[in-house]
Amino acid sequence: MIKRIWIMTLFPEMFKPFLECGVAGAAFRGAREGDIKFEIKFVNIRDYSTTKYKSVDDSPYGGGPGMVMRADILKDALIKGVLEAGGYQSLSDLEVIYTSPRGKVWNAQVAREFGQTQLSTTSKDLVFIAGRYEGIDERFLSLYVNSYYSIGDYVLTGGEIAIMSMLDSAVRFLPGVLGNNLSSVADSFEDGLIEYPQYTKPREFDGLDVPSVLLEGHHKKIIEWQDEQKVQMTKKFRPDLIK
Ligand SMILES: C[S@@+](CC[C@H](N)C(=O)[O-])C[C@H]1O[C@@H](n2cnc3c(N)ncnc32)[C@H](O)[C@@H]1O
């Protein structure tokens, strides 16, 4: 089954390296083993501009700094570029997502939920809208957007990096994406703690040895050491997570 993910953006080229590199890129290129194969489709919002100079924005009513993306152009991009081009019956076949500081704040738990719901079913295809400038005319948002996500309490210059962050962190929870399916379970935040420290070759580096417990092959002791280290690392680096 194919799950299409549409990305409405002024900068589709920003996604090229994301799709070409690493395990997330492979998954979104449709290379992953599994029931659902992803197909990423881009809609360049500028292609739907009707103005002489292909602008997509205009100054805000009421004044204020910056420019606002026009509702009519975004509507055309959504209806003609996604709905009609994709052969959908109606907008209810699509989940339209806008990345915005007003949205639900993204974290490990939200990423897992998104991965295990939105990325794991084919009932609706997804449409991400990347804002630019000061954002999008509220009338378009109120009529066409189903959900809002923020990647944190700071302001980006555009939604593209937010979309890539969301897709990258959510797809890790799908079977077959990470080399070892247990990787996502052992990663930071899964049990509310930061990951234990990791070591590889060489055994001695700049006068520092690998902790001896990791070399002794005693599985139970290794697990106990790792559990204790998670607590220590969290206290040291993220004391705010220790309740
Ligand atoms: C310069 S921002 C607009 C910020 C807007 N004027 C405000 O104050 O909330 C341009 C675009 O970047 C994206 N963006 C900015 N910060 C974001 C965040 N924290 N999470 C997700 N998307 C964000 C949104 O799509 C937004 O429309």
pLDDT at position 243:
75
The active-site residue out of 12, 60, 101, 197 is 101
Above 90 in pLDDT, residue 114?
yes
Query: What is the C-alpha to C-alpha distance for residues 43 and 86, in angstroms, rounded to an integer?
Result: 11
In a domain, 180, yes or no: no
pTM attached to this predicted model: 0.96
130 Cβ below 6 A of ligand 1: yes
Distances (CA, A) of 89 to 24, 37, 85, 100, 220: 30, 21, 11, 28, 56
Above 90 in pLDDT, residue 16?
yes
Within this chain, do residues 141 and 29 fall inside the same structural domain, yes or no? yes
Query: What is the C-alpha to C-alpha distance for residues 101 and 99, in angstroms, rounded to an integer?
Result: 7
In a domain, 226, yes or no: yes
Above 90 in pLDDT, residue 154?
yes
Within this chain, do residues 43 and 94 fall inside the same structural domain, yes or no? yes
pLDDT at position 181:
64
161 Cβ below 6 A of ligand 1: no
Within this chain, do residues 98 and 164 fall inside the same structural domain, yes or no? yes
Within this chain, do residues 6 and 43 fall inside the same structural domain, yes or no? yes
In a domain, 178, yes or no: no
The active-site residue out of 134, 168, 195, 197 is 134
pLDDT at position 182:
63
pLDDT at position 100:
98
Centre of ligand 1 to C-alpha 149, Å, is 10
In a domain, 177, yes or no: no
Residue whose CA is at the smallest distance from ligand 1 atom 4: 134
Within this chain, do residues 192 and 164 fall inside the same structural domain, yes or no? no
What's the whole-number mean pLDDT along residues 24-44? Answer: 93
CATH of the domain at 229: 1.10.1270.20
pLDDT at position 33:
82
Within this chain, do residues 155 and 229 fall inside the same structural domain, yes or no? no
Which of 9, 102, 137, 156 has most ligand 1 atoms within 8 Å of its beta carbon, as the pocket-test mutant?
156
What's the whole-number mean pLDDT along residues 224-231? Answer: 97
- In the residue annotation, 113 being an active-site residue is answered as no
What would the pLDDT profile of 91-109 be if each residue is shown by its tens digit? Answer: 999 999 999 999 999 999 9
68: left (phi over 0), alpha (psi -120 to 50) or beta: beta
CATH of the domain at 7: 3.40.1280.10
- In the residue annotation, 101 being an active-site residue is answered as yes
176 Cβ below 6 A of ligand 1: no
Within this chain, do residues 163 and 193 fall inside the same structural domain, yes or no? no
Query: What is the C-alpha to C-alpha distance for residues 68 and 25, in angstroms, rounded to an integer?
Result: 31
- In the residue annotation, 172 being an active-site residue is answered as yes
Residue type, 40: I
Record the tokens describing residue 103, joined without a space.
């949205």
pLDDT at position 185:
74
Within this chain, do residues 156 and 209 fall inside the same structural domain, yes or no? no
In a domain, 50, yes or no: yes
159 Cβ below 6 A of ligand 1: yes
Domain that includes residue 195, residue range: 188-241
The percentage of the chain sitting over the pLDDT mark of 70, rounded to a whole number, equals 99
Identify which of 11, 12, 132 has the alpha carbon closest to the alpha carbon of residue 70: 132
Last residue of a domain, one of 171, 198, 221: 171
Q: What is the DSSP string of the chain?
A: -EEEEEEEES-GGGGHHHHHSHHHHHHHTT-S-SS-EEEEEEEEGGGG--STT---EEPPTT--SS-EE-HHHHHHIIIIIIIITTT-SSGGGEEEEEEEEEEEEP-HHHHHHHHHTTTT--SSEEEEE---TT-B-HHHHHHH--EEEESSSS--S-SHHHHHHHHHHHHTTSTTTSSSTTHHHHSTTTTSSPPPP---S-SEETTEEPPGGGGS--HHHHHHHHHHHHHHHHHHH-GGG--
Within this chain, do residues 144 and 220 fall inside the same structural domain, yes or no? no
In a domain, 92, yes or no: yes
62: left (phi over 0), alpha (psi -120 to 50) or beta: left
What's the whole-number mean pLDDT along residues 110-137? Answer: 97
Within this chain, do residues 30 and 85 fall inside the same structural domain, yes or no? yes
Within this chain, do residues 199 and 131 fall inside the same structural domain, yes or no? no
pLDDT averaged over the chain? 96
Within this chain, do residues 10 and 104 fall inside the same structural domain, yes or no? yes
In a domain, 222, yes or no: yes
The active-site residue out of 76, 93, 95, 187 is 187
How many Å separate Cα 42 from the centre of its chain?
Answer: 16
pLDDT at position 47:
98
What would the pLDDT profile of 182-225 be if each residue is shown by its tens digit? Answer: 677 778 998 999 999 999 999 999 999 999 999 999 999 999 99
In a domain, 176, yes or no: no
pLDDT at position 186:
78
Centre of ligand 1 to C-alpha 225, Å, is 42
What would the pLDDT profile of 78-94 be if each residue is shown by its tens digit? Answer: 999 999 999 999 999 99
Number of domains in the chain: 2
User: Of ligand 1's atoms, which has the minimum distance to the CA of residue 157?
Assistant: 1
